Structure 1
């Protein structure tokens, strides 16, 4: 499949068969008693990549990060960083640094002393420490806050101090555990772009753990979606969203209409699917399909059209507006079709009057093109 969506076109080493991974998890398993947090997992991360581990609570993503940092030891398998097996190497000897969700700043120390703490522990000369602290303060735009204490800073500023402290030791890999979780929504959105720009500027490999899909999609070059200690899919954000490889990934990432059904006819790359919800839909599919095959059809809400009058084209349906949610940029509709099935539709509010003047219980018509969705066979 060709690459989907916007990526740094000059940076896609995973597409180069000759590129050597910078970090390799090779058959890694981690058990806590009878509980298997990570299950025979293999994964490659490339140098200078911003990589995200995305999943729900208990999926194993934080355990994977902690094993790379050296805070946990794999039960089986090995982790290789820049050609070196990390087995037996303690955390303080590994060329990685970890930024925690809580930031863990020392409240009695100034910003500059917080940043310098790790460098002093390593015995670096005072003049070198001063230079290094000045460099990272400039990098995160906090030069004017060097003498302040953490309680004199905003949440976003404290996040930058924690980031500066992590970068001061110039690690080969920076590990971020829910790095923006403590920020409010608006500040989190602003900081996401700053963090991505900073990573690209520094060229340091970042690995982030998050349960926030939007955060992973905004920041990462690639995302690994995890479930119950296993990797379900590794791909760019656009490929994860537009071309999920399974029902789980399709349902987990973003909002979706997911229909189970049976293929009734196939002609070339076109097929007709009868869904369990009673809909008959015409689709175009890259997958090789056979008559009577059980499949799932994935249709994102923004791929559907909605109107107060019938819409010409394939897969045209009618129903009643059952629910509406106004989010500002978009309005989400739940439409109960005449056969009793419900579909989700979202429309951009391109004018001040909103996307469409429909309200609860109005008659509504929806339609989607044959290539609007994705047929999944697993």
Structure 2
């Protein structure tokens, strides 16, 4: 399967993403096989409130990127169907214009209830597209307001989309999702209130004292349904990419910096625009996520008896014990090989 991914075979890519979504040993082995061939694609995160026109903008972005010669992968992260567990929205339904373009790969991924809007396997799926030879990978998130911040942990550049007339003028004055933007896109700029929204975002940005060598997020007005402003968005992405390559973070996760893993794990990618530093922070956080997931899987499959965790929760709820004592006891048991269940796989 790895060979098919590296060859850019669409069916092989689709199969690989399905495997990593299912969190199987086959998926882990695949990621090990292709990881050395990653690190070349530029990851663009697109987020914003529902109704902002993210899918339409992404559709137009793909067209502009293709005109500029880029091979493009798209990961559209959708809500999970409560019945099938699959993505509710179909990738082909949203971007029919690119369905027959060999230079474009489109995939919908279900969130499976993951808070923050990014599917658990989005990181790995992006790496699959990277290894397949895509120059750009666009990650379009569900769009659930200010909880939509996980994208910053995956993307190299994050675009926050806003639309006039939806209360975004007020949201622009609040913390949260506004803090993750490298680029602001005011879509549906032909609506009344678009200038007022731009002014509100400008006012928010003015509260931060940007040094001459700091990136100040630009505000780009678009009418995605007409293709207006799309070239300006791609230009802004290119400008940020060039800036982040030149930016150096002397004290935040820069290669060679005297920082331990704990610092990297707790660092915030929003603290820097240095592309290398951002990737190092994301790698540390990804390793942390994998270790945490592996430990919990070990605990569930090889240590806990069936129903034991539910009983423990009941005891905590009844104040017969506390979460901290329970966690310490579970950790001690999980760390001791002698405590592995006899019937554990």
Q: TM-score, normalised by structure 2?
A: 0.28
More helix by share: 2
More strand by share: 1
